[in-house]
A and B are shown apart, each in its own frame.
Chain A
C-alpha cells in the first residue's frame, strides 16, 4: 500500500494537484491552447466573412484596389513568417531535447524574423499613406477609379485585418523573446518546457492567418 502511494506520488511529482501526473498536465495544457486558438479562428473568421461578402459583391473594385498592393513586399513578408515558423519549430525541438541555449537562440531569431515582418508592414502602410490610400486621422482617400467607395472598403478591410494580425504578431514577438530569455536563464532546466511549446502553437497560428491574408489582399485578379 505504501509502495503504491509512493509510486503515485512519484508519478504526480511536479504536476498540480488536479492532474494525474506531468503528462496529464501537459495534455491538458495543449487542449487549453487549442481551445484558445479555436476562439482566435472565430475572431479572425468574422473579419474574413466580411471580406468574403464584400469581395463577392464588388469583385471589380477589389481587383482594382488590390493593384495598389506590392506583391514583392507581400511575398517577402510571407517568406519571413514561414521561415520564422521553421525557426520556432526548431526552437521547440531544441527545448524538448533540453538544449536550452540552442532553444533560446532560435526563439530570439524567430522574434527577429517577426519584427522584420512588422517593419515591412509599417513601410507598406507608410507608402499607402503617401499615395493617399490611408483614410484615417483626417487624411483623404485618393482613388482614381470608378468604384472609389468600394475600393475604400477593400482598404478598410486591409488595414483592420492586417492591423489585427500585426498586433497578434507583436504580442508573439515579445512572447518569444521572453521565452528566449527564460530558456537562457536556465529556468526550464529542471521543469517541463510546455510554455515554449504553447508559444510555438500561438506563433504558428499567427503565421497560418497571414498565409490566408496574403492571397486575399495581394493576389486578387
Chain B
C-alpha cells in the first residue's frame, strides 16, 4: 500500500470515528451543549476533508485566503443578519 492510499485510509478512519462520536454524543442529555458538540464534530470532519482530501494544507497561503474568505463572508452574513432579527421583535 503506497503512502497516499495509507493517508486516505487514515483520514477515512478518522472521519468514521468522528461520525460514531457524533451519533453517540447526540444520545447524551447535555441540553444546550449537544448542539455545540455536534457542530464541533462537524467542524472537525470538515477540517479533515478540507485539509487532507481537498489538500488545503498543501495549498499555500494564497489558497487559504480564498478558502477562508468564504467563511469570513459567511460570518458577516450570519452576524449582521442576526443583529437584525435579534433586535427587531420578541418571538413568542
Chains A and B bind each other: yes
A221 within 8 A of B: yes
Q: Are B53 and A215 in contact (CB under 8 A)?
A: no
Q: Are B66 and A83 in contact (CB under 8 A)?
A: no
8 Å CB contact of A75 from B23, B46, B59: B23
A41 within 8 A of B: yes
Mask, A53-96, CB within 8 Å of B = 1, is: 10001100000000000010001001100110110111001000
Mask, A17-42, CB within 8 Å of B = 1, is: 00000000000001100110111111
A204 within 8 A of B: yes
A89: which B residues are within 8 A, CB to CB?
Answer: 8, 11, 52-53
8 Å CB contact of A39 from B49, B63, B70: B70
A185 within 8 A of B: no
Mask, B49-60, CB within 8 Å of A = 1, is: 110111000010
Q: Are B23 and A38 in contact (CB under 8 A)?
A: no
Q: Are B8 and A90 in contact (CB under 8 A)?
A: yes
B63: which A residues are within 8 A, CB to CB?
Answer: 30-31, 34
Mask, B18-43, CB within 8 Å of A = 1, is: 01001100100111001000110110
8 Å CB contact of A49 from B30, B50, B78: B78
Q: Are A208 and B26 in contact (CB under 8 A)?
A: no
Q: Are B23 and A219 in contact (CB under 8 A)?
A: yes
Interface size class of B (residues with CB under 8 A): 35 or more
Q: Are B53 and A204 in contact (CB under 8 A)?
A: yes
Main secondary structure on A side of the interface with B: helix
CB distance from A210 to the nearest CB of B (A): 10
**A58→B22 CA distance, assembly (Å):** 23
Give the total number of A-B pairs whose CB atoms are below 8 A apart. 116
A200: which B residues are within 8 A, CB to CB?
Answer: 53-54
Q: Are B16 and A82 in contact (CB under 8 A)?
A: yes
Q: Are A46 and B77 in contact (CB under 8 A)?
A: yes
**A39→B26 CA distance, assembly (Å):** 31
Q: Are B78 and A207 in contact (CB under 8 A)?
A: no
**A204→B26 CA distance, assembly (Å):** 24
8 Å CB contact of B67 from A38, A58, A82: A38
B8: which A residues are within 8 A, CB to CB?
Answer: 86, 89-90, 93
Q: Which residues of B contact A (CB under 8 A)?
A: 4-5, 8-9, 11-12, 15-16, 19, 22-23, 26, 29-31, 34, 38-39, 41-42, 45-46, 49-50, 52-54, 59, 62-63, 66-67, 69-71, 73-74, 77-78, 81-82, 85, 91
- 9 contacts across the A-B interface (CB closer than 8 A): A34-B66, A38-B69, A40-B70, A53-B82, A53-B85, A75-B23, A85-B15, A208-B46, A219-B23
Q: Which residues of A contact B (CB under 8 A)?
A: 30-31, 34-35, 37-42, 45-46, 48-49, 52-53, 57-58, 71, 75, 78-79, 82-83, 85-86, 88-90, 93, 200-201, 204-205, 207-208, 211-212, 214-216, 219, 221
